[in-house]
Structure 1
């Protein structure tokens, strides 16, 4: 059996030690492995014990690699496992390292999921559906997803969705109410809110338009429609197509008729 003839501490990593067998460098181990196996100069080592030491050392390396990864922010068990496997560690080694991390409180999917929920709600104003997708990406089990999302009350969802809807309404006064409703609905759907929550949020928004606001909308939508259809049509056909285009944008028929009449009078005056 080979005999340990020298043990030296590494210069670059004070927690690791080089093991020399029969005067030749054989391998290195972490200090915890050194202590666990009681390695000392003059000790004889069997092949199986060396394999055990190397396996234990791999677990320690994987554990330290995971700690470094977790040092930047909280991670899910799935994220850590994927990171270690991608780094080249074997499945058994990775699972041993994960067990150690969980036992020491460095990995906890429930705490991670709750933190992710709070972050997504407070910084991104996301709804349950979008947050569920994030949890799925992180490898969180369905049962835990449900448990965590149960903490996101309907009242809080309505409050946030309404705040987003009102903010969007104030920033988009130059489009018609129907266009605005669709715009807000699409935005809230992308945020992950349900149709029921969106409906309740929209009910809190003032979609009424003042006279001067309608004039601005008419000027924008109407002029564009008039120019586009005037290049191909005239008379009744143009009138009908302009009316259809403006009506689809949510402009009231009486305002459309007034606009078209104005444009036709302007055209007659130029002839």
Structure 2
């Protein structure tokens, strides 16, 4: 048996205390551990109690480290566990700290998943598949993940996808309807929307062009294509290559013919 002969508060951390046994420094503990074990001057401790105190203090340290980590932003259980393990805490200590955090409401994967879903919708307009991948990376279990994604309604997905589509149209005013639709599809797929949503959006979006707009577009894009091929091909072969390239970009044949005729007249 050993007796506590002195207890002092640490200067650099007011929530930790130094414990002296038989006049010699033995270990330090968190304030919560001090209170839990009723550590006071004159208290007798055996080796089993000392080990128990050390274990409980490790849990307190892990809990405090996790609390600090969570103070910056919400985290998943997986993230907190990895953070503590990387910091050198043992598996059992980490699990005890996590249980304490969950009991106090500081850690809740369901609440975290809902928050991530809402943030992803509002700030990045992400679709279900992209959000699902984010949740998987955060270690969210399948049941919680599916429950969370069920709250993302089809109507909401359509609304956000349409906003992305309209933004894409504005950013590609110098492109043909075919090119713009391809851009919209690429954006929506990358953002995690299903092909069903993508096709519905493409059916609804209006991308008509007037003749003068077509001519402006083909003048802009056609010149680049013409200059690209003019050094490689001659006469009919040049015209064929230019026609193919412009047709693939969605230009009507009559507009393409007009452009090529004018190019020939200028030569």
TM-score relative to the length of structure 2: 0.97
Q: Do 2:215 and 2:255's aligned partners in 1 also have CA atoms closer than 8 Å?
A: no
- Give RMSD over aligned pairs: 1.1
CA distance in 1, matches of 2:62, 2:190: 38
Q: Secondary structure of 1:39's partner? A: coil
CA distance in 2, matches of 1:225, 1:8: 81
Q: Secondary structure of 1:157's partner? A: helix
Q: 1:120: how far off? A: 0.4
Q: 1:186: how far off? A: 0.2
Residue aligning to 2:263: 263
Which digits, 9 at most, give the CA deviation of each residue in 1:88-124, with x for residues without a partner?
1000000000000001111110000001100000111
Q: 1:210: how far off? A: 1.9
Q: Do 1:18 and 1:28's aligned partners in 2 also have CA atoms closer than 8 Å?
A: yes
Spell out the pairing of 1:221-260 with structure 2 (5 A cutoff).
221-260=221-260
Residue aligning to 1:145: 145
CA distance in 2, matches of 1:5, 1:163: 70
Q: Secondary structure of 1:19's partner? A: strand
CA distance in 2, matches of 1:216, 1:37: 82
CA distance in 2, matches of 1:201, 1:11: 64
Residue aligning to 2:173: 173
Q: Do 2:19 and 2:25's aligned partners in 1 also have CA atoms closer than 8 Å?
A: yes
CA distance in 1, matches of 2:90, 2:188: 43
Residue aligning to 1:217: 217
Bigger mean CA offset, 230-239 vs 137-146: 230-239
Which digits, 9 at most, give the CA deviation of each residue in 1:109-163, with x for residues without a partner?
0000001100000111000001001101110011111100000000110011012
Spell out the pairing of 1:60-79 with structure 2 (5 A cutoff).
60-79=60-79
CA distance in 2, matches of 1:190, 1:229: 32
CA distance in 2, matches of 1:57, 1:85: 16
CA distance in 1, matches of 2:230, 2:14: 82
* Runs of 4+ in structure 1 over 6 Å off: none
Q: Which runs of 5+ in 1 are unaligned?
A: none
Q: 1:43: how far off? A: 2.3
Q: Which runs of 5+ in 2 are unaligned?
A: none
Indicate how the Cα distance of structure 1 residues 171 and 210 shifts in structure 2: closer, same or farther if over 3 A, else same: farther
Q: Secondary structure of 2:44's partner? A: coil
CA distance in 2, matches of 1:102, 1:35: 22
Q: Do 1:20 and 1:27's aligned partners in 2 also have CA atoms closer than 8 Å?
A: yes
CA distance in 2, matches of 1:188, 1:202: 10
CA distance in 2, matches of 1:220, 1:266: 16
Q: Secondary structure of 2:112's partner? A: helix
Which digits, 9 at most, give the CA deviation of each residue in 1:200-259, with x for residues without a partner?
112221111122221221112211121122112222111111111111111111111111
Q: Secondary structure of 1:4's partner? A: strand
CA distance in 2, matches of 1:40, 1:167: 67
CA distance in 2, matches of 1:38, 1:160: 57
CA distance in 1, matches of 2:241, 2:154: 44
